[in-house]
Each structure stands twice: as structure tokens, then as C-alpha cells.
Amino acid sequence: MTFGSLSLIPITVNYICECFVSHPAEASITANMLRLVFGLSVAFYINDWVADVNVGWTYGMMAFLDVLSFGFIGLLMWKGHQIREWTVGGLNDTEEGEKVIETTKLVGS
């Protein structure tokens, strides 16, 4: 689980930065802040949660929420191109179709 979390974070942040190419710093800061808030907040409510519903139900509910969350990833894998074309307040920008390397003709060819 730790390996999966650590390998998924850079991919997710990179995806978010590529969706908001004109605001990569803000997108990265927001994504990392949310990750940090959710990760650090668990310590404040996990003991009460376990006391209320038992360890099995606590981790079972976490697993259910993970599966539900992965549904959004599946949606992005299926319809991601169309979703990325939507824009909110002009924040979305794309580099699709742009050339990164220009080709030049050699003299005499």
C-alpha cells in the first residue's frame, strides 16, 4: 500500500499540472495541500471511528471509499479527453497539438 501511494502521488500531481498548464504552481500546491490535510487528519478521528464501529468496519468503510474514489479514476481513463476539454473560468489550457521541436531544412536539400 505504501509503495502504491508513493508511486501514485507524482503521477497525480503531474496530471493535475498538465491539466492546468498556465497555473502549474497553484495546481501543485493545492493538490499537495489536500493530500497533506487528508493524511494528517486521520490521526485525529481514527480512534473515535474504531471505537464507534469496530476495526473491521472502519477499514472496510475505508476500502469502500477507496473503491468509490477509484471509480472517478476509471471515469477519467474512459472519458478523460472530453472532461479535460471542459473549462471553469478559463483556468483550463492545453498544449495538445503543439510542436515541441521545430524541424529545419538543410541548405541544399
> Which one is predicted more confidently, 40 or 109?
40
Residue 73 · residue 8 · CB < 8 Å: no
Task: Label residue 33 by pLDDT band (50, 70, 90).
Answer: very high
Residue 21 · residue 94 · CB < 8 Å: yes
49 pLDDT exceeds 90?
Answer: yes
CB atoms near residue 27 (< 10 Å): 19
Residue 91: what pLDDT? 60
Residue 27 · residue 19 · CB < 8 Å: yes
Report the alpha-carbon angle 33-73-64, nearest 5.
Answer: 85
SS3 assignment for 72-93: HHHHHHHHHHHHHHCCCCCCCE
> What does the pLDDT average to over 34-56?
90
Which residues are 20's β-sheet partners? 93
**What predicted TM-score, i.e. pTM, was given to this entire model?**
0.57
Q: Where are the domains of the chain?
A: 1-42, 54-85
